[in-house]
Structure 1
């Protein structure tokens, strides 16, 4: 309807312009006398002028239709581009979320690696300090593999136990456990071993008994006695299957086997660790060792 109104206005304007030109021509003729017949509006029939105006209007109508089609095409392209942009946004959003989550996991893993590196450096310093420390006798200097208690047998008392004095913790082994951990942190492995053994022997059902057994394995592991360390880690799993140290014991069992060159057995244990404890801090360590073994 709006376009028809525009056409009517255009036709009226053209007609008015024609009449104006016609009247102007008459005025010029009255002023100047005879003029060029070819320039006299009376020489062009009115019907011809109307037909010309109709042709002009038709041309304008065709031009308008072409413009309308071009405008429709442009709108369709714009709509298509909008749909494509929305699709790309929907595709990018999940990828961005996954990237952010992966970056957060990488940062957490890097933090764990840094903490482990600090612990390794600290432990290395303690071992070096213990190696340089003055020794009372050969029995206190080094942990002997003969202290290992085979599964199913009565635990043997570590050598030199009678020479160390510990307080009597008959009711609560927690203070003795704290004392043993202090010995371990400063590199006094012989004293730590004796204290941990007392806890496990005298308080086998306490809340720290599985931890004590685990740390005995760690002491042997630090001394490169991987076979003995493996036995203690295995005892943690068998004697305390619901204990908090079971994931760590599985991990260190795999490490101990790898250190002994038993790569196939190590892979079995480490894969079991990764599959069983996917949300535990042992997962990245197990995966790294698996990659190292498979790549060697």
Structure 2
């Protein structure tokens, strides 16, 4: 832009100088004038060439600027599109993350609920197992104490047993007499003597109609002494050995009460419910029903 303005000025100065020289000298030759004209024309052509180049340069610059602008706009559009796509993907990922988080919390809650239920059931099983183990241990101790596996406790050598000390009943003694004598001893509170009489009756007259009653009163004697473990075993003998006897409901009731006295409510409940089921019309079943309401 500056060169296109400077060159015409130079030409004007040159012409002016030439005219000044011609005026001053007044003797400029024709040859000098031609030389100056040629130089002036040369300068004009150079100026025109420079103007053309300048114009071409401006067009080229404008073209490049247009290309750069289009490229910049395209790049900006592309970047905006990619940014929008990335934003949409981020929103989708966040939504998936929230959905998965909610699902995980739900699963965790369900697992905690099942775990709590499992722990409660496991605790109940442990309690039942512990009760069963205690009962088995208690029964084993009773059996060991009584030496049931070898036919009952053995008397010490040289010392007569209670049955020997009492002596064998006379052959003329009947089962009714033995039963009545043992029952009288029981009613008077002579529990050891009563047990000996009932045991002698069962041994001597195993087919007697009084045998199941005698076995029941043996259990009752231990119940009165609050030896509930032993009473439970004697009542069980009534139930198993005399299943058709009239003392089975009473034996079941007192067996349940014995467990209750020991604090074993689970076994007491089972036995009393079984009594209600098997003998629903008995007086013992009514007592059992009343006891069950107290649990």
Q: Structure 1-normalised TM-score? A: 0.45
Q: Quick check: which one's helix share is greater?
A: 2
Structure whose CA Rg is larger: 2
